[in-house]
Amino acid sequence: MKIVVATKNKGKLVEIKKLLLDLGIEVISQDEANINIEVLEDGKTFEENSYKKAYEIMKACNLPTIADDSGLCVDFLNGAPGVYSARYAGENASDDDKINKLLSEMKNASSRAAKFVCCACLLFPNGDKIEARGECFGEILNEKKGTSGFGYDPVFYINEFSKTLAQMDLEQKNKISHRAKAFLMLKEKLKQYLN
């Protein structure tokens, strides 16, 4: 079996490929499958968007396809940026632009609690679907710390480890992140499905 990963985000792709390594299945990116489609992420939930991404790429390549829709939900911002995390500072904004916007919105925040959410959806050409959700809790720092990872990692601090996600190496992030939890559950469901 071969699985296509429906993402254009290079940081995510590195994490997902590593998370799926122990399946012993060939995993290729949508670029490697030569699928150049922009999926309009207009769903109201992470679940809706992950299904939509998996569906559109799966239709184009006719192979089992896995998509991840994820984002940062901040208590003080009533769950924002949420499903808009990628476009929080505009369509082509950099990770730094997004972080700067977040920190300015949180200048006088009474709470800095936040969580990352990841919804993973694996769709098969016959319509079968496996889904899983993972969450990772932390708080938003006032300044960036660390250079690993991607997105909001430099300001997402986890008390238990006294580190931001950007101060962790990939191995450590892939043990505790929202994505790690979602993909661990998805792999368990896939193993049952294949038996």
Smallest distance, ligand ITT to C-beta of residue 25, A: 19
For CA atoms 77, 38, 120, 143, the dihedral sign is negative
Q: Is 41 in the site for ligand ITT (CB under 6 A)?
A: yes
For CA atoms 33, 46, 72, 100, the dihedral sign is positive
Stretch that binds ligand ITT, among 19-27, 101-109, 126-134, 147-155 (CB under 6 A): 147-155
Q: Is 145 in the site for ligand ITT (CB under 6 A)?
A: no
Task: Identify whether 97 is a catalytic site residue.
Answer: no
Contact 136, 116 (CB under 8 A): yes
Strands lying side by side in the sheet with 129-140: 26-29, 2-5, 65-74, 113-123, 129-140, 156-158, 163-164
Contact 73, 136 (CB under 8 A): no
For CA atoms 100, 49, 113, 105, the dihedral sign is positive
User: Which one of 51, 55, 116, 157 is in contact with ligand ITT (CB under 6 A)?
Assistant: 116
Q: Is 37 in the site for ligand ITT (CB under 6 A)?
A: no
Which of 109/146 has CB closer to ligand ITT? 146
- From the candidates 42, 68, 69, 96, give the one annotated as an active-site residue: 69
Q: Is 76 in the site for ligand ITT (CB under 6 A)?
A: no
- 3-class state of residue 134 by DSSP: strand
- Please give the residue whose beta carbon sits closest to ligand ITT in the complex: 151
The residues that are catalytic are 69
> Which residues make up the interface to ligand ITT (CB under 6 A)?
7-9, 12, 41, 53, 68-72, 85-86, 98, 116, 149-153, 165, 177, 179
